[in-house]
């Protein structure tokens, strides 16, 4: 059944693709059928997962224990496990997919290539389920890689220049992260002989090289951390989320980052439990991620970018919790519950917030905050869910975020009591980031629902002043967005949005807002869970937290945790105070100028553009050049070094263009030619040599003239016959005479050499005879 959870979406994916393709030929229902099929599959998946969660014994019918092994791929094979943590997340994932697919038909109305979106969304669901169900790192890696590649089309779906660039970053991070994880998992397999979660802890006791285990851990952390959005590998996140369509952003943010967290959790709980350096590493990375994400979100002037940075910040909260979990002590149970609950909560918040952002975008066609001022004013259908999500993520008592943040905070506080000042600092960073969360959510909420829409004239100015920022924020999706998408609303107040969209990043609020019932249902169902969880913790989240104990290997949380005691409320109050100060004195004073949200974030402060891209595209290739430069400029060694560099460059060029090998080859051919010619002339030379030495005919005495009487007479007759002959000439001068003489001479030569040869032959025969008869005999 667990296998079915993985395979069902993957097998249904092609069907969704083809249904969507065939439906696309009928423009009035373009792509809708594919989304409905997708929603159906997700609903089925959700039911299946819920059934498995209620009756865990159904997870692996026919196999003993809570795991299933499938011997495919390499010698590790796929291992699936099912425990409390998986019970939670196998339900959460299809639920998120279901909600986003309910929202998709409206969002994608009029879009091209929705079949592709359906296909890859379902594939990603299967892969994500695979990651969460995996029972060893090998399986996790396999599905993790599949997930990375199937989610790539989400980011590039819109095919705008920004989307293509963001997708490139996403892919590069995924590939490099995947390779790092592969290396780490490989090392683990080689050192410990297994990557099964259940067997690793035991195998660790027999480890021979702790250094290599640590290296493996670092590699795996980098791989999964990159997907989670952990600093300093978060670079893809603030760009990919705004570029993707809103339903995909919700999943990227709510589900895919969690799969990265899953890998880190598995690593922490299995290998590095009670390992202080590891805990400190996670704590510091988590604290930086948490704070940086919150600050970036505060500065952002793009709706979805704010939410994306917020995701990063919340991942930081989870990482801090994981770090605390790894420090040995009593606080582990608190931290574990906090981590699990915050994961679930964050998935939920981001689902709500991104769907809401998507609803705003499909009506207003911009993500720029200034242009969005008052966009949702007077539309409670949007405002209430957004408010619930904002309050939840900010950790206000009564909403579910409060519970998880309280647990995390308590965990840190208890650890601080044990480990001292460093942890207290983390605690303050935690509370401050919590405050920033509330501040940027307030900023968004006020912008969308309280600010007065800009007047038309102002809007024009704003539009002229904005484009750079809008582009930087990724809001230029408008250009790639077909204008007819605006004509989508089924229910009512559509006004003249098509014109507005054609006009660019301008008006919205004046033109009303629409959302079809299906989308509204998706939004409201998700949003109502937030206060439900928040108000009845003992019925909901406490039970969820109790399920995580197997996976986290902790004691269960003590029953009767006093959620709303003053001690626990205090943290929340501190955050609210921070938020009030930050919002009033910073956001309103510095980030809003003349009623416009201005981008105060220095453009150069972008880790990707400032570091990673140059590193990969310029620095590494130019590394050797930079290496030789200082030496080359040194006057003493300069000449020598320059010579060496030149030689090196020459050699490199030779190698690169095959010049060296080519020249060698040519030289060899030429030398061979000379040799061959030499050899081919050798016999001739030998013959010549022999002729002129050994076989030279004896010099005969010149017979004088006439050579013979016969020739003389013939010559004389011939001369007389020739009328033109000079009578006074010597008879020997006749041509015929000369010829006859030459002939006779040649015969003499011939007979001479023939006789000589015969003589030699005779001698040789005699020699052989003597040899045979005398010496051998």
Q: Which residues bind other proteins (CB under 8 A)?
A: 71-75, 77, 141-142, 145-146, 149, 153, 156, 159-161, 164, 167-168, 171, 175-176, 178-179, 182-183, 186-187, 189-190, 480, 658, 661, 665, 669
Instruction: Using the minimum distance from each CB to other proteins, give the nearer residue, 74 or 558.
Output: 74
Q: How far apart are CA 408 and CA 577, in angstroms?
A: 19
Instruction: Using the minimum distance from each CB to other proteins, give the nearer residue, 183 or 383.
Output: 183
Instruction: Using the minimum distance from each CB to other proteins, give the nearer residue, 97 or 120.
Output: 120
- Name the β-bridge partners of 68: 80
Report CA 264 to chain centroid distance, whole Å.
18
CB of 203 to other proteins, least distance (A): 16
Q: How far apart are CA 88 and CA 244, in angstroms?
A: 27
Record the tokens describing residue 160, joined without a space: 């705008």
Instruction: Using the minimum distance from each CB to other proteins, give the nearer residue, 46 or 78.
Output: 78
H/E stretch holding 24 reads helix 2-24
The length of the chain in residues reads: 777
Q: Are 496 and 512 in contact (CB under 8 A)?
A: no
CB of 7 to other proteins, least distance (A): 13
CB of 664 to other proteins, least distance (A): 9
Instruction: Using the minimum distance from each CB to other proteins, give the nearer residue, 153 or 279.
Output: 153
CB of 183 to other proteins, least distance (A): 6
The owner of tokens 């805990």 is 279
Instruction: Using the minimum distance from each CB to other proteins, give the nearer residue, 10 or 292.
Output: 10
CB of 187 to other proteins, least distance (A): 8
DSSP-derived pairing of the beta strands 67-70 and 78-81 = antiparallel
Q: Are 352 and 415 in contact (CB under 8 A)?
A: no
DSSP-derived pairing of the beta strands 592-593 and 596-597 = antiparallel
Instruction: Using the minimum distance from each CB to other proteins, give the nearer residue, 53 or 125.
Output: 125
CB of 75 to other proteins, least distance (A): 6
Instruction: Using the minimum distance from each CB to other proteins, give the nearer residue, 183 or 384.
Output: 183
Burial of 566 (0-12, 13-18, 19+ CB in 10 A): exposed
Query: DSSP letter at 10?
Result: H
CB of 182 to other proteins, least distance (A): 8
Instruction: Using the minimum distance from each CB to other proteins, give the nearer residue, 480 or 556.
Output: 480
- Listed residue (253, 269, 6, 44) closest to 129, CA to CA: 6
Instruction: Using the minimum distance from each CB to other proteins, give the nearer residue, 183 or 446.
Output: 183
Instruction: Using the minimum distance from each CB to other proteins, give the nearer residue, 173 or 334.
Output: 173
CB of 478 to other proteins, least distance (A): 13
Report CA 359 to chain centroid distance, whole Å.
29
CB of 665 to other proteins, least distance (A): 7
Distance in Å from the first CA to the final CA of the chain? 98
CB of 71 to other proteins, least distance (A): 6
Instruction: Using the minimum distance from each CB to other proteins, give the nearer residue, 115 or 242.
Output: 115
Any idea of the CA torsion for 311, 314, 319, 322, to the nearest 10 degrees?
-130
Record the tokens describing residue 502, joined without a space: 């054609």
- Residue 68 φ/ψ, nearest 5 degrees: -140, 135
Buried b (16+ CB within 10 A) or exposed e, 648-683: eeeeeeeeeeeeeeeeeeeeeeeeeeeeeeeeeeee
Record the tokens describing residue 564, joined without a space: 């709303």
Long-range contacts of 454-463 (CB under 8 A, 24+ apart): 454/370, 454/371, 454/373, 454/595, 456/507, 458/595, 459/371, 459/506, 459/507, 460/506, 462/370, 462/371, 462/596, 463/371, 463/504, 463/505, 463/506
Q: Are 131 and 140 in contact (CB under 8 A)?
A: yes
CB of 344 to other proteins, least distance (A): 28
CB of 668 to other proteins, least distance (A): 8
Instruction: Using the minimum distance from each CB to other proteins, give the nearer residue, 68 or 171.
Output: 171
Q: Are 230 and 290 in contact (CB under 8 A)?
A: no
CB of 473 to other proteins, least distance (A): 20
Q: How far apart are CA 318 and CA 315, in angstroms?
A: 5
Record the tokens describing residue 42, joined without a space: 């997700």
């Amino acid at each position: 059944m667990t296998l079915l959870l993985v395979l069902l979406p993957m097998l249904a994916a092609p069907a969704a693709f083809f249904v969507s393709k065939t439906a696309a030929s009928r423009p009035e229902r373009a792509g809708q059928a594919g989304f409905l099929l997708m929603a159906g599959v997700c609903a089925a998946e959700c039911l299946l997962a819920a059934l498995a969660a209620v009756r865990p014994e159904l997870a692996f019918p026919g196999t003993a224990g809570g795991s299933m092994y499938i011997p495919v791929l390499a010698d590790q094979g796929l291992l699936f496990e099912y425990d409390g943590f998986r019970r939670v997340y196998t339900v959460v994932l299809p639920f998120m997919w279901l909600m986003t697919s309910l929202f998709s038909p409206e969002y994608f109305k009029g879009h091209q290539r929705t079949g592709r979106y359906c296909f890859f969304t379902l594939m990603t669901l299967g892969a994500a389920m695979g990651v969460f169900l995996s029972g060893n790192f090998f399986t996790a890696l396999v599905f993790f890689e599949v997930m990375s590649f199937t989610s790539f089309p989400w980011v590039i779906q819109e095919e705008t220049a920004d989307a293509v660039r963001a997708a490139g970053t996403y892919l590069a991070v995924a590939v490099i992260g995947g390779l790092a994880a592969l290396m780490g998992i490989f090392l683990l397999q080689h050192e410990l002989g297994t990557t099964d979660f259940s067997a690793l802890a035991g195998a660790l006791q027999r480890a021979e090289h702790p250094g290599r285990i640590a290296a493996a851990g670092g590699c795996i952390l980098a791989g999964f951390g990159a997907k989670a959005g952990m600093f300093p590998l978060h670079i893809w996140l603030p760009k990919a989320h705004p570029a993707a369509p809103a339903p995909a952003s919700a999943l990227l943010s709510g589900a895919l980052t969690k799969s990265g967290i899953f890998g880190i959790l598995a690593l922490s709980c299995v290998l590095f439990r009670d390992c202080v350096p590891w805990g400190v590493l996670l704590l510091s990375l988590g604290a930086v991620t948490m704070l940086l994400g919150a600050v970036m979100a505060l500065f952002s002037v793009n709706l979805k970018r704010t939410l994306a940075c917020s995701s990063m910040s919340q991942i930081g909260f989870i990482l801090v919790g994981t770090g605390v979990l790894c420090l040995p002590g009593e606080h582990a149970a608190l931290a574990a519950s906090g981590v699990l609950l915050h994961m679930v909560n964050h998935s939920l918040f981001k689902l709500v917030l991104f769907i809401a952002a998507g609803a705003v975008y499909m009506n207003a066609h911009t993500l720029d905050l200034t242009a969005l001022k008052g966009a949702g004013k007077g539309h409670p259908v949007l405002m209430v869910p957004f408010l619930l999500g904002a309050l939840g993520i900010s950790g206000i008592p009564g909403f579910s975020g409060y519970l998880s943040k309280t647990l995390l905070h308590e965990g840190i506080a208890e650890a601080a009591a044990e480990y001292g000042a460093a942890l207290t600092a983390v605690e303050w960073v935690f509370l401050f980031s919590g405050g920033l969360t509330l501040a940027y959510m307030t900023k968004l909420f006020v912008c969308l629902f309280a600010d007065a829409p800009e007047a038309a004239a102002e809007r024009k100015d704003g539009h002229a002043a904005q484009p750079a920022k809008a582009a930087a924020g990724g809001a230029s999706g408008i250009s790639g967005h077909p204008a007819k998408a605006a004509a989508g609303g089924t229910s009512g107040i559509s006004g003249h949005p098509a014109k507005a969209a054609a006009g660019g990043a301008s008006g919205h609020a004046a033109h009303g807002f629409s959302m079809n019932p299906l989308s509204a249902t998706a939004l409201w169902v998700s949003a109502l869970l937030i206060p439900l969880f928040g108000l009845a913790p003992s019925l909901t989240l406490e039970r969820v937290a109790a399920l995580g104990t197997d996976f986290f290997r902790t004691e269960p949380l003590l029953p009767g945790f006093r959620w709303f005691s003053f001690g626990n409320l205090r943290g929340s109050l501190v955050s609210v105070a921070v938020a009030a100060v930050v919002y009033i004195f910073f956001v309103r004073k510095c980030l809003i100028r003349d009623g416009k949200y201005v981008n105060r974030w220095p453009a150069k402060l972008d880790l990707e553009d400032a570091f990673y891209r140059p590193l990969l595209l310029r620095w590494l290739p130019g590394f050797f050049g930079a290496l030789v430069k200082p030496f080359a400029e040194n006057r003493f060694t300069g000449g020598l070094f320059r010579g060496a560099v030149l030689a090196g460059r020459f050699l490199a060029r030779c190698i690169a263009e095959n010049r060296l090998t080519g020249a060698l080859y040519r030289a060899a051919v030429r030398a061979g030619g000379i040799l061959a010619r030499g050899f081919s002339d050798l016999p001739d030379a030998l013959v010549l040599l022999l002729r002129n030495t050994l076989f030279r005919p004896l010099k005969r005495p010149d017979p004088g003239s006439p050579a013979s009487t016969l020739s003389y007479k013939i010559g004389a007759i011939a001369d007389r016959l020739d009328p033109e002959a000079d009578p006074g000439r010597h008879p020997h001068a006749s041509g015929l005479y000369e010829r006859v003489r030459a002939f006779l001479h040649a015969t003499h030569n011939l007979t001479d050499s023939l006789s000589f040869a015969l003589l030699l032959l005779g001698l040789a025969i005699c020699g052989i005879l003597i040899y045979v008869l005398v010496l051998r005999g």
